[in-house]
Amino acid sequence: MKRELIVANSSSRSIRKEGLEYILKQYFGHSGFRGKQLEAIEAVLSGRDCFCLMPTGGGKSMCYQIPALATSGIVLVVSPLIALMENQVTALKAKGICAEFLSSMQMSHTKEKIHEDLTSGKPSIKLLYVTPELLATVGFTAKLLKLYNRGMLSLIAVDEAHCISTWGHDFRPSYRKLSSLRVHLPDVPIIALTATAVPKVQKDVIDSLQLRHPLILRASFNRPNIYYEVRFKDLLGNAYTDLLSLLQSSGEVCSIIYCLERSTCEDLASHLLKNGISSAAYHAGLNSKMRSKVLDDWLSSRIHAVVATVAFGEDVRFVCHFNIPKSMVAFYQESGRAGRDQRTARSVLYYGLDDRKRMEFILNNDANMKPQSLPSDEFLRKSLADFKMMVDYCEGSGCRRQKILQSFGESASASLCQKSCDACKHPILLSTSLAELERIGGISKKGGLAPVFLQR
Ligand SMILES: Nc1ncnc2c1ncn2[C@@H]1O[C@H](COP(=O)(O)OP(=O)(O)OP(=O)(O)O)[C@@H](O)[C@H]1O
């Protein structure tokens, strides 16, 4: 289906490029496209499917937001997290762009207003965000078909597309149902976007969504503006105190502290608050009113540090993991929330042997307890292998950046880092710490597993 272009009907590529750059500047204030953005935008505008592999903060959303403004129709965005949809819609509205999101959690009058606009002769909505669960309902499919038959649907963007794959770190069964999009809406181009680079995931996404000869765009995963660092809990007197002084010395910058459990979030947030850091806990146990309040307080800078178990936040300078994440992919996604504006940012991971044991216990348990898409022994093998990479990131003495990139199958020379990780900046300090950890591990009375480095 040929898209109706608002920016320029001319077939000349340079004129169309100018028009797209004009939209980018006018609405988003950016002076030029970054990386592969223009290629992705031009592909979908010409009606071609696209698979877009860009790192966190790489500017994926522009690849469907610009087409929404450059065509007369509506762009449907499938997104897995209500908090992320809410974030994006709020940010778009602040720029004067008509965007809405639909989820089962919304008030019925809000939903009705959105449906009214969609069924009107000339909808004002340019971007409509929905959850995959909603998309799978018969009622919503019928509404979508009506839009499609009126020629109002210009593009479908599947964000966080790795959720489709059982090989991805965040498999969501409802994402599987997105395969019906191609069946119901055969002429609408689809752009799948992800920051997960595993080849099996890429194949799964392309097959499941039935993408037709998609343009495959792949950008480097290096985030040169993030400084990576690991701090060893077992060598610190008190990790809470260490984190507190880290936050105090950073000034009032926006920070996220990821924790494994809700109770740790609550404890840490109140500890920080008592010590003068404006902070709040954010996790799935809070009701939607509380969550919105935290988001509001964050956006209006009333709080600077959010202690979370789940994805949160934009424009963050400092991301801390107070407990080791379960995989490199999870770590990359979460630490990648820092420095999305390309300015310098910092990632600090607090690593402790107890945390490592706890995660190994959780992964073993998960494999036995949860119904999985893979057989449980295969699932366990995969999740322990994913976790081992994360442990190696913490316990190894080599460049952290190189380890991240290698885990995504990207070759990276040691010189790439430019001393922007603790291993490259302070190699002697790190090897002293590792030796000390090894010594403690050797006399550990904590029982359980011995540290990995003793087994090497
Ligand atoms: N062409 C550009 N020039 C300058 N800044 C840009 C450009 N494109 C995007 N950005 C900025 O980069 C940041 C990250 O963009 P975006 O949110 O689209 O990333 P993303 O790839 O979707 O990340 P994530 O995977 O975390 O969702 C935003 O602050 C955005 O304004």
Tens digits of residue pLDDT in 169-199: 666 777 878 888 999 999 999 999 998 767 7
Looking at residue 168, what is its pLDDT?
Answer: 59
Tell whether ligand 1 has an atom less than 6 A from the beta carbon of residue 162: no
* Cβ proximity of 4 and 71 under 8 Å: yes
pLDDT for 160 beyond 80: yes
Looking at residue 371, what is its pLDDT?
Answer: 57
By DSSP bridging, strand 153-158 and strand 305-308 are unpaired
Separation of 41 CA from ligand 1 center, angstroms?
A: 14
pLDDT in tens, 38-59: 999 999 999 999 999 988 778 9
Tell whether ligand 1 has an atom less than 6 A from the beta carbon of residue 25: no
Q: Atom 14 (ligand 1): residue with closest C-alpha?
A: 57
Tell whether ligand 1 has an atom less than 6 A from the beta carbon of residue 332: no
Q: Do domains 17-218 and 226-423+433-439 have the same CATH topology?
A: yes
Looking at residue 113, what is its pLDDT?
Answer: 92
Looking at residue 424, what is its pLDDT?
Answer: 95
| CATH 3.40.50.300 corresponds to the domain 226-423+433-439 | yes
Looking at residue 58, what is its pLDDT?
Answer: 81
Tell whether ligand 1 has an atom less than 6 A from the beta carbon of residue 343: no
Tell whether ligand 1 has an atom less than 6 A from the beta carbon of residue 56: yes
pLDDT band at 241 (very low <50, low <70, confident <90, very high): very high
pLDDT in tens, 263-309: 999 999 999 999 999 999 998 888 888 888 888 888 888 898 999 98
Tell whether ligand 1 has an atom less than 6 A from the beta carbon of residue 58: yes
pLDDT for 367 beyond 60: yes
Ligand 1: atom nearest CA of 160 is 25
What does pTM read for this prediction? 0.73
Higher per-residue confidence, 175 vs 427 = 427
Separation of 60 CA from ligand 1 center, angstroms?
A: 6
Testing ligand 1's pocket by substitution, the residue of 333, 340, 347, 408 carrying the most ligand atoms inside 8 A of its CB is 340
Enter the tokens of residue 423: 């291993």
Mean pLDDT of the chain: 86
Calculate mean pLDDT across residues 6-17.
55
Ligand 1: atom nearest CA of 84 is 27
Tell whether ligand 1 has an atom less than 6 A from the beta carbon of residue 54: yes
Looking at residue 6, what is its pLDDT?
Answer: 54
CB-neighbour burial class of residue 280 (10 A; exposed 0-12, middle 13-18, buried 19+): buried
Q: Atom 16 (ligand 1): residue with closest C-alpha?
A: 59
> Of 278, 282, 266, 275, which is closest to residue 245 (Cα–Cα)?
275
Residue 374: phi and psi, rounded to 5, are -110, 160
Options 3.40.50.720, 3.40.50.300, 3.40.50.620, 3.30.70.920; CATH for 17-218 is 3.40.50.300
* Cβ proximity of 99 and 93 under 8 Å: yes
Tell whether ligand 1 has an atom less than 6 A from the beta carbon of residue 57: yes
Alpha carbon distances (Å) from 257 to 52, 311, 402: 29, 11, 24
Calculate mean pLDDT across residues 350-370.
86
Domain ranges of the chain: 17-218, 226-423+433-439
Tell whether ligand 1 has an atom less than 6 A from the beta carbon of residue 59: yes
Looking at residue 285, what is its pLDDT?
Answer: 87
Tell whether ligand 1 has an atom less than 6 A from the beta carbon of residue 225: no
Q: Atom 22 (ligand 1): residue with closest C-alpha?
A: 60
Percent of the chain with pLDDT over 90: 53
pLDDT for 36 beyond 80: yes
Looking at residue 454, what is its pLDDT?
Answer: 31
Separation of 63 CA from ligand 1 center, angstroms?
A: 10
pLDDT band at 450 (very low <50, low <70, confident <90, very high): very low
